[in-house]
Structure 1
Amino acid sequence: MRIVPVPYDHPDAAKLMTAVQQVYIERYGSEDITPMSPADFDPPQGLFLVGYQGEEAVACGAWRAHDGPEPDFRPGDAEFKRMYVSDAARGRGFARMILFELERTAALSGRKRAVLETGTKQPEAIALYTSSGYTEIPHFGVYKNEPESRCFGKDLTSV
């Protein structure tokens, strides 16, 4: 898989984000309502990645910088968003490749910790994060009080 940085509003990014929102609808009954702006993902304060197999966009993930306020975020945080691999491309390690590249690029941009939110109805995501060294952290963001929410973090200073 070839991983390419693209703007948040790139057609391939938009196609993959529409697909991941459909997964949220199927599993939770609604789309992710976390407030986001395309500018959140503009370098150097963020990045949106699309993974290609040949010419087909099959995976994506993004990060955006947060520098507080605590307790939700700490100075130097990178919040990971929109991790997704298309159905046809699953089981090939692409999610792990996107996750590694998000960690690498966030660390290169001076981010100290990766944080993310997922849900209990995404066991494959939880398995990916925990097997990649993420540990549960206090809930944050719009799903802070949702019982189905799970938040994870990982130190990026040694990545």
Structure 2
Amino acid sequence: MHAIKIESADFASPAVQALVAENLADLSARYGGGTGDDTPLTAADFTPPNGAFLVAISDGRLIASAGWRRHGGDAELKRMFTVAAARGRGVARRMLAAVEQSAREAGCKRVILETGNRQPEAIALYESAGYERIEDFGFYAGHVGVLSYAKAL
């Protein structure tokens, strides 16, 4: 893998939507059936000042994504994903740091997120990056296996 560049992207663009589809397929495989994540999202959620959507690019290909949208004074992390071929190389950690910086610059006080108990890699990343468990919130609040986290910015 060559140099990795992280930049803002249009959530509605075909290339981003193809990566999001891969993310949802991964979630569907982990949790069984469905679309993987039924949380209502629109491109406007990731358009400043409402939020931002970032991608990592290597050799002209999108290899990771992460976005945030406003949730009160917080930034809610959504669509954090790294393609299988790029995992284990620190890409997700770089993406998480870029989201945190973007949210901080937009005046958010913390990043919050929902993940699931069948995503051990994500849980390990968030906990090692200083995220702590909080009361469940959002679309999947109260669902079995949901884990919610937050980190002050």
Shift of the alpha carbon at 1:134? 0.1
| TM-score, structure 1 normalization | 0.91
Unaligned runs of 5+ in 1: 68-75
Q: Post-superposition shift, 1:54? A: 1.8
Structure 2 residue 107 is matched with structure 1 residue 110? yes
Q: Is the 8 A contact 1:117 1:149 kept in 2?
A: yes
Residue 150 of structure 1 is matched in structure 2 by 147
Q: Matches of residues 2-21 of structure 1 in structure 2 within 5 Å?
A: 2-21=5-24
Q: 1:115-154 maps to which residues of 2 (within 5 A)?
A: 115-154=112-151
Q: Which of 5, 23, 26 is equivalent to 2:26?
A: 23
Counterpart code for 1:136: R
Hey, what's the Cα distance between the residues in 2 that align with 1:152 and 1:103?
A: 14
5 Å-filtered alignment, 1:82-101, equals: 82-101=79-98
Q: Which moved more, 1:27-36 or 1:97-106?
A: 27-36
Q: Secondary structure at the match of 2:22?
A: helix
1:4 aligned partner, one-letter code: E
The alignment of Structure 1 onto Structure 2 pairs a total of residues equal to 148
- Which is worse superposed, 128-137 or 32-41? 32-41
Q: Distance in 2 between matches of 1:12 and 1:3?
A: 15
What is the deviation of 1:12?
A: 2.1
Runs of 4+ in 1 over 4 A off after TM superposition: none
Q: Percent identity?
A: 43
Question: In the TM superposition, what is the alpha-carbon distance from 1:141 to its structure 2 partner?
Answer: 1.2
Corresponding position: 1:66 with 2:71: yes
AA of the residue aligned to 2:42? S
- TM-score, length-scaled by structure 2: 0.94
